[in-house]
Amino acid sequence: DVVATYSGTDVLKGVASDPSAFTVAKAASTTGLLVSETSPFTGQVVQLLTKVTGPDDAAMTTGQVAFASAGTAIPGCSAVAVTDEGYASCSTSWSARGTYAVTAAYAGTDQIAGSTSSATSVVAGADATVRAQAATGTYGSKGATLAGEVQGSGRVATGTVTLSSGSTVLGTATLVGGRWSLALGATAVLPGTRTVTATYSGDARHHPGTDSASLTITKAKPAMALSVTPSAPKIGTRAVASVTVTAPGLVPTGTVKIQMNGRTLATVTLVDGKGTATLPAFGGRGTKAFTAVYSGSSRIGTGTSATKTLVVR
C-alpha cells in the first residue's frame, strides 16, 4: 500500500491519504531443456541440461530446478542448483520401455518468477530385430512349423510372437532364449502359398516389431486303387470299374476318369472316396489296359492309379 503524507504548515495541519494498492510483479524467467538422448536404451544414462534466463535474457545465477518425467520428480534431480551461468544439469535413466514427457521447472526467487520448460518426449527402449523363416507342409499329413528369432540390443528379448495370415491368427509363440516356434496342425491351413506375419509384442526393454515370411502348404497326396470286373471278359461284355481314393486325414471328393489308351471311357463321381462305373462293351479280343485319373480337389492333389490290364476273349 502506498500512502501520500502532507507535513502541514504553521496554519495547516498535516494529513495522509488513504492507502492505495501498488503491486510489483516478479520479473519473468524462461527455462529451456536439452535431453542428450531422446531414444535411449533402457538403463542408458541420459544427461538433462537446462538454462534459465531472466530479464533481458540474462542468465540466472540463483535458484533451483526440478526435473520431472511423466509428471513425477526424477530421483536425485528434484532440486538442482542453478550455476552462475544459469545452467542446471542432472543424469538419469529409464528401466522400463515407454514414452516419457520430461520437463524442467525453475522454482524462481524473491524477485524472479518461476517457469517450466516445454516437455521433451523421450522414447526409452531398444529396437528388436524380428526374423521369420519360410515354412512348408503337406495338408493332412505334415503340419508346417513356423519359427524364427527376435534379436534384442545387448539383452535377450523376451515376450511373445503372434503369427497371422491376413486377419486370421494362427497362434502365439513364447520366446525362449530369443527364439520362437509354432507347430501348426496338419489341417490348420489350406493348401497354397501365403504370407505369414510375425508380430513381436515387445518387453520391458524392447520395442515391438514385425517380420514376414512365406508359408507353403501343398495338397495332400492321394492313394488310388482300381479294379475291373470281370477279370477275363468276353466280347460284348460290359465290365464294371471300381475305384477307391484315400488321402491322410481326409475323405476325397471329386471325380475319377477311367481311361484306355488316353481315351476316357467313363467318369466316376466319388462318394465317401469310392465309386463305380460301367464301361462300354468290348468290341474285340485282346489285352486292354485301363488307368484311373483322379481330378483332385481344393485339399487333395491329382493322382493316377497303376494300370489295370485285362484280356478280352
Contact 281, 288 (CB under 8 A): no
Average pLDDT over the chain, rounded to an integer: 94
Confidence grade of residue 132 (pLDDT, cut at 50, 70, 90): very high
Section 85-108 average pLDDT: 96
Beta bridge partners of 223: 246
Residue 305: DSSP 8-state: P
Signed CA dihedral, 165, 166, 169, 174: sign only: positive
The pLDDT, as a whole number, for residue 305 is 87
Residue 186: DSSP 8-state: T
- CA–chain centroid gap for 120, Å, is 28
Section 17-25 average pLDDT: 89
> β-strands 46-53, 87-92: how paired?
antiparallel
Least confident of 105-109, 115-119, 309-313: 309-313
Q: What is the pLDDT of residues 227-242, one digit of tens each?
A: 999 988 999 999 999 9
Q: Which residue has the cell 477311367?
A: 258
- Grid cell at residue 150: 527376435
- Distances, alpha carbon 59 to alpha carbons 52, 55, 249, in Å: 6, 9, 81
Judged against a pLDDT cut of 80, whether residue 137 lies above it is answered with yes
Q: What is the pLDDT of residues 266-279, one digit of tens each?
A: 999 999 999 999 99
CA distance 227 to 110: 108
The pLDDT, as a whole number, for residue 290 is 94
Residue 39: DSSP 8-state: S
Confidence grade of residue 153 (pLDDT, cut at 50, 70, 90): confident
Q: Which residue has the cell 491329382?
A: 302
Beta bridge partners of 308: 290
CA triple 73-78-84, angle to 5 deg: 145
The pLDDT, as a whole number, for residue 141 is 92
The pLDDT, as a whole number, for residue 304 is 87
Q: Beta-carbon neighbour count of residue 259 at 10 Å?
A: 17
Judged against a pLDDT cut of 90, whether residue 307 lies above it is answered with no
Q: What is the pLDDT of residues 36-63, one digit of tens each?
A: 999 999 989 999 999 999 999 999 999 9
| Burial zone of 292 (CB within 10 Å; 0-12 exposed, 13-18 middle, 19+ buried) | buried
Judged against a pLDDT cut of 80, whether residue 3 lies above it is answered with yes
> Please, which residues have CB within 8 angstroms of residue 214's CB and are 6 or more apart in sequence?
134, 135, 193, 194, 195, 196
Confidence grade of residue 155 (pLDDT, cut at 50, 70, 90): confident
Q: What is the pLDDT of residues 250-299, one digit of tens each?
A: 999 999 999 998 899 999 999 999 999 999 999 889 999 999 999 999 99
36: left (phi over 0), alpha (psi -120 to 50) or beta: alpha
Q: In what order do the strands lie in the sheet with 30-35?
A: 30-35, 46-53, 87-92
Judged against a pLDDT cut of 80, whether residue 175 lies above it is answered with yes
Cis preceding linkage at 191, omega within 30: no
Judged against a pLDDT cut of 90, whether residue 1 lies above it is answered with no
pTM higher than 0.75 for the full model? Answer: no
Contact 241, 292 (CB under 8 A): yes
Section 83-91 average pLDDT: 95
Contact 224, 300 (CB under 8 A): no
